[in-house]
Amino acid sequence: MALVTARTFANSNVRPPAVAGTFYPVERAELEASVRQYLERAKTEIGVTDGAPPKALIAPHAGYVYSGLTAAAAYNALAPARNIIRRVVILGPCHRVAVRGLALPSADSFATPLGNVPVDQAAARQIQALPQVSVFDDTHKDDHALEVHLPFLQVTLEKFSIVPLIVGQASSEEVAEVLDALWGGPETLILISSDLSHYLPYAEAQKSDDEARRAIERLDGLGLGDEAACGRHSIRPLLSLARQTGMQVQTLDVRNSGDTAGGKDKVVGYGSWLFTEGGAPGETEDQFGGQTRLLLDAHGASLLKLGAATILNHLGAQKQMRLDMKDFAEPLHANGACFVTLNKDGNLRGCIGSIQAHRPLITDATENSGRAAFRDPRFKPLVATELTEHDITMHISVLSPQVPMQFNSEADLVSQLRPGRDGVVLQDQGKRGVFLPVVWEQLPERQEFFTHLKRKAGLPDDHWSDAVQAWRYVTEGVSSDEMDGAEEFWTPS
């Protein structure tokens, strides 16, 4: 769809409020009181993060009565950077007038009942040099996706300007190029405006929104479905950049309009997330290895036994196990990513895992144990007779945070691989392949290892492109055949 000629706002260089009085209060005092009330409620009902201030946020854009509490959870996280953030790059989906690419307004500022917010004209001119960015007021005029965030920003930040962008039909690469150009330092906040599922029955919405939550926590843009979030065209490139730069993500709140101010026959989902830079602060591979080795030496047997109990429970057709976290050691409560591998008579029988830490390690190990036994698509579901008639062993590998690899060619990438040490994630053309370090035992040569990794990702052996992305990680593991009493591992306790 071609862009029409840019039009300016009538008789003013200020973009006036479009949804004051409908999405939020129109009177200044009432609006400020409303925003502060949501911020205080979020502190009490959701909690406040105590980590580093975010580099990026995802927050909803519905009327405050529906999504104000979820949005407030995100804005409370800005408190440590109240005097640091000076520019907010806001990307929201198109609701009114369709647009190709990303659209800036011609306005010098955006007005709300709390005052005017200036547009960062220098930043706007910078990205107008990109072919996917144009000035198009018609799409901004009545759209609420950006406007509803401004009162929250006006209350939580001191002095700031905005780069307001409506995102229409744009590729992830086009949006990522804009984000990269505007990324800046601690003075710049990236804000993605998005709701989640739209107009599903309550239970279906909860399921859809939970799948979206898990994809975002995994920094998995490929896992975010086309119906999962209206701001998906901006969320996906943010997740890609977050993975490339080693950012950490935290879910703050997920709920829907049926939980707030609407009925439950057709609901809209809302979620808020914060992203921080720097990966795991101060954590080197050696530190990870030492700390994780101590954890597995102390609690690895508990993880293995719980994985076995999950499988035995399923084979016995009992109800799904429910974990009571207080029954397990505190170190297992921390988020962790692991792969669970089952071997039968020394051969692979199932392997499933997580490549990003997005839930407590004990939960990740338990659920991946069941999936490795019954949901690995390469194998039929495990049956009870295999446990009695064959030697079945379990291995749990805990993954370090991923480190993005920098390279200028396939040969450069392959030369950087460390045989026997590196696990690798490869991604290109919407496809992804993952190898654990143990794969080096079967594929000890670098090029052979990488070629097979491309095959696993569904890419041709000779595939290469400038868009290839790769991450490395290391693992620490524990095996059932190394436990005391290994011969009784599959005996129900």
| φ, ψ at 64 (rounded to 5°) | -60, -35
Average pLDDT over residues 348-352: 95
Residues 356 and 398: their CA atoms lie apart, in Å, by: 10
**How would residue 280 be classed by pLDDT, with cut points 50, 70 and 90?**
very low
Q: What is the set of domains in the chain, with CATH numbers? A: 14-276 (3.40.830.10), 285-400+479-488 (3.30.700.20), 403-473 (3.30.1490.150)
**Confidence label for 284 from pLDDT (cuts 50, 70 and 90):** low
Cα–Cα nearest to 301, from 482, 492, 487: 482
Q: Is 115 left (phi over 0), alpha (psi -120 to 50) or beta?
A: left
Look at the alpha carbons of 275, 470, 431, 127 in this order and tell me if their dihedral is positive or negative: positive
Q: What pLDDT, on the 0 to 100 scale, is given for residue 8?
A: 43
Say which residue, 433 or 280, is predicted with more confidence. Answer: 433
Please state which of the ranges 98-112, 373-387, 475-489 shows the lowest mean pLDDT.
Answer: 475-489
Answer whether residue 10 shows pLDDT above 60: no
The average pLDDT across 307-331 equals: 84
Residue 9 confidence (pLDDT): 46
The pLDDT value given to residue 3: 30
Q: In which band, very low, low, confident or very high, does the pLDDT at 4 lie, cut at 50, 70 and 90?
A: very low
Please choose, from the candidates 411, 476, 421, the residue with its C-alpha nearest in 3D space to the C-alpha of residue 450. 411
**Average pLDDT estimate for 107-136:** 96
| Amino acid 1: pLDDT | 26
**Residue 12: its pLDDT value, please?**
61
Q: What pLDDT shows up at residue 367?
A: 94
Structure token digits, residue 460 = 């041709």
Distance between CA atoms of residues 404 and 469, nearest Å: 8
Calculate mean pLDDT across residues 335-362.
92
**pLDDT at position 258, please?**
97
Q: What is the pLDDT of residue 262?
A: 87
pLDDT, residue 5, reads 30
Please state the rounded mean pLDDT for residues 84-95.
96
- Sign of torsion, CA 38 39 44 49? positive
pTM of model > 0.95: no
Residue type, 468: V
Q: Using CA atoms, how far apart are residues 180 and 188, in angstroms rounded to an integer?
A: 12
**Listed range (214-218, 419-423, 457-461) with the worst mean pLDDT:** 214-218
pLDDT score, position 487 = 81
Asked if 360 contacts 335 with a C-beta cutoff of 8 angstroms, the reply is yes
What pLDDT, on a 0 to 100 scale, did the predictor assign at position 214?
87
Which structure tokens are listed for 327?
């029954």
Task: Judge whether residue 347 has pLDDT over 50.
Answer: yes
The reported pLDDT for the residue numbered 55 is 96
Tell me, what's the pLDDT at 291?
Answer: 85
Mean pLDDT value of segment 461-481: 93
State the pLDDT at residue 355: 86
What's the pLDDT score for residue 319?
Answer: 64
pLDDT tens, position by position, 213-254: 989 988 888 889 999 999 999 999 999 888 878 788 999 999
Least trusted range by pLDDT, from 158-162, 288-292, 318-322: 318-322
Quick one: three-class SS letters along the chain? Answer: CCCCCCCCCCCCCEECCCCECCCECCCHHHHHHHHHHHHHHHHHHCCCCCCCCCCEEEECCCCHHHHHHHHHHHHHCCHHHCCCCCEEEEEEECCCCCCECEEECCCCEEEECCEEEEECHHHHHHHCCCCCEEECHHHHHCCCCCHHHHHHHHHHCCCCEEEEEEECECCHHHHHHHHHHHCCCCCEEEEEECCCCEEECHHHHHHHHHHHHHHHHCCCHHHCCCCCCCCHHHHHHHHHHHHHHCCEEEEEEEEEHHHHCCCCCCEEEEEEEEEECCCCCCCCHHHHHHHHHHHHHHHHHHHHHHHHHHHHHHHCCCCCCCCCHHHCCHHHHCECEEEEEEEECCEEEEEEECCCCCCEHHHHHHHHHHHHHHCCCCCCCCCHHHHHHCCEEEEEEEECCCEECCCCCHHHHHHHCCCCCCEEEEEECCEEEEECHHHHHCCCCHHHHHHHHHHHCCCCCCCCCCCCEEEEECEEEEEHHHCCCHHHCCCCC
Cα–Cα distance, 449 to 7 (Å, whole number): 55
- Render pLDDT for 58-67 as a digit per residue (tens, 0 to 9): 999 999 999 9
| Token code pair at residue 331 | 């170190």
Q: Provide the pLDDT confidence category of residue 454 given band limits of 50, 70 and 90.
A: very high
